[in-house]
Amino acid sequence: MRITKTNLQNLPNQPGCYIYKDTQGKILYIGKAINLKARVNSYFAKNSDERPKIKSMLKKAVELEILLVDSETESLILETSLIKKYKPKYNKLMKDDKSYIWVMFDKKADFPRPEIVREKRIKSAEYFGPFPQSFPAKQVLHELRQLFPYCNTNFKIKHIKTDIGAKQTVKVIGAQERPCLDYYTGFCSGVCAGLISKTEHKRNISHIRKFFRGEKREIYEDLELEMKRAAKAKNFEKAAELRNKLQNLVYVTQRIKVQSRTDEFDLQECATDYLKQTEAELIRRVFGKKTKISKDFRIECYDISNIQGKQAVGSMVLFVNGKSDKSKYRKFKIKSKETPDDFFMMQETLIRRLNRAKKKDQKFLPLPDLIIIDGGKGQLSSSYEILKKFGLEKKIQILGLAKREEELFKILEGKDQQGELYNSFSKTTLPKRSKALYLLQRIRDEAHRFAIGYHRKLREENSIRSSLSDIPGVGALTEKRLIKAFGSMEKIKKAKSEDLQTVVRNKKTVEAIRKLL
């Protein structure tokens, strides 16, 4: 994208990497951020980075490319891979490989294990990095070690195979009498006591190396193959253990593979797959494992913002396959209420949205697969009535998200003894560290942010109108023009006479504005 004020303001508030390019498309600088919008905009703020190399780089930069990831850790890994590959002119520190850390695997060791080092001293070793000191290497290895355990102690051990007739035995020499303490907490495989073979140990280490290479799909395939073999051999305990590893692998910090020619496409593909998995987890936890999930699953989330019913607005945000689609965000100025009534305001918002879809307005099509309402049982119940009114209660799932305990509510329809329909509520509480809850919170917070932003804008406009309405010569049309041109009362006050005259042509009115404000 071109580096323009509009494009900078539309950047997402998500972690990722940003890439500055010159007129020829050559990469000048690669950086990372936990919040792309805040970080990139900081380069163009008044108190921006004063370093000469950054100033020089910004003079040449005309294009900006961003790559979204799912966590700050992932952005660090991706930044390292991109800098190592492209060696941009203005990324000198990372390019020089000084004051950075590496994750090392000694290939010649009998029982290799990952080690964090600051220098590449062993030529035969395999190194991943360099990573900046802020990279949580220990934490990443800690997470991986829970899935693929290895021993961190120094030990010497030999496994000698011997054939005795038709049987093959393994003699262990030099093993400890008992495994280390980490074995009892699940972080060591017991290799130090000869409880597993060298082959099994190397298989665990191989998975960790693949993770740092970005070969996560290969890990999935390896584990699935092992699981099928175990199940076929009726070793169901082993199969269950491998199944759990597959499920838990989703929660390990994401590592995006950077291929030689299509970094961006590969990144987006992996990120999309991950978001789809997270979304699927959310739906199945709430609606059951047999729930069918469409190819492009659409989630709409709604929120209401007002102060005592004044300047009330409704917001609608859309996420497709777990990713926000800002081009489909919609805002609604509440028309029917000026007193506090969030239930009624939510109903008005849904009615207006569904009516536009009913009239085949393409801006409101297709309909969502799931609606999330920011509220508990009452808000959910009133919103569900609107779906029933449009005959959509069977086509669109709907959930209420209560803020205090982050509880999810869904409606269950039933019949009493007289055969009359009644509604009951089912409550689901997602695990606090689950990716499904994180996705849900992100969607809810985005709807809240969008609603608050529109509400503040209306409140500011109302404040300007109140101040301008007493000025002779300023009517409704002039008020509208001034608001559109300057945006806030503070900017109107600071505007020069010649600036005001571009909007208000009457000089006396301009003088009156400057006198009274």
| Mean pLDDT, each 10-residue run in order, the chain (517 residues) | 86 90 91 88 77 85 86 72 82 56 85 85 83 70 85 66 51 64 83 81 87 74 87 86 75 42 40 69 81 86 82 92 90 82 92 95 94 92 94 93 85 76 84 82 91 84 63 68 71 74 72 66
pLDDT for the residue 265:
37
What is the model's pLDDT at position 92?
67
Q: How do the residues of the chain divide into helix, strand and coil, expressed in percent and rounded to 5?
A: 45, 20, 35
* pLDDT score recorded for residue 266: 40
Alpha helices in 235-376 (DSSP H): 236-249, 263-287, 342-358
What's the CA gap between 276 and 229, in Å, rounded? 27
H or E, element range at 213: helix 198-213
Residue 225 C-beta-side C-alpha neighbours within 13 Å: 6
- Cα(193)–Cα(191) distance, integer angstroms: 5
Query: For residues 166 and 164, what is the distance between their CA atoms, to the nearest angstrom?
Result: 6
b/e per residue, 421-446, with b = 16+ CB within 10 A?
eeeeeeeeebeeebbbbbbbebbbeb
For helices 216-232 and 236-249, the axis angle rounded to 10 degrees is: 160
Are the beta carbons of 300 and 345 closer than 8 angstroms? Answer: no
Q: Helix 435-468 vs helix 263-287: angle between axes, to the nearest 10 degrees? A: 100
pLDDT at 517: 58
250 contact partners, CB below 8 Å, separation of at least 6: 274, 277, 278, 281, 435
Amino acid identity of 106?
D
What is the C-alpha to C-alpha distance for residues 182 and 404, in angstroms, rounded to an integer? Answer: 38
Do 372 and 300 form a contact (C-beta atoms < 8 A)?
yes
Would you state the pLDDT for residue 293? 81
pLDDT at position 251: 59
φ/ψ of 300, rounded to 5, equals: -110, 140
* Pick from 395, 382, 348, 371: nearest CA to 443: 371
Cα separations in angstroms, 221 against 74, 190, 207, 225, 454 = 22, 25, 11, 6, 47
C-beta of residue 127 within 8 angstroms of C-beta of residue 120 = yes
Structural contact between residues 472 and 323, judged by C-beta atoms closer than 8 angstroms:
no
CA–CA dist 460, 486 (Å, integer): 12
In whole angstroms, how far apart are CA 164 and each of 161, 167, 170? Answer: 10, 5, 11
Q: Are 304 and 289 in contact (CB under 8 A)?
A: no
**Are residues 317 and 450 in contact, defined by beta-carbon separation less than 8 angstroms?**
yes
Exposure string of 112-121, with b = 16+ CB inside 10 Å and e = fewer, is: bbbbeeeeee
Q: Are 74 and 253 in contact (CB under 8 A)?
A: yes
Asked if 346 contacts 302 with a C-beta cutoff of 8 angstroms, the reply is yes
Query: How do 397-402 and 370-374 pair as beta strands?
Result: parallel
Instruction: Using the structure block, give the residue that is written with the tokens 């917001």.
Output: 315
Structure tokens at 133: 């000191």
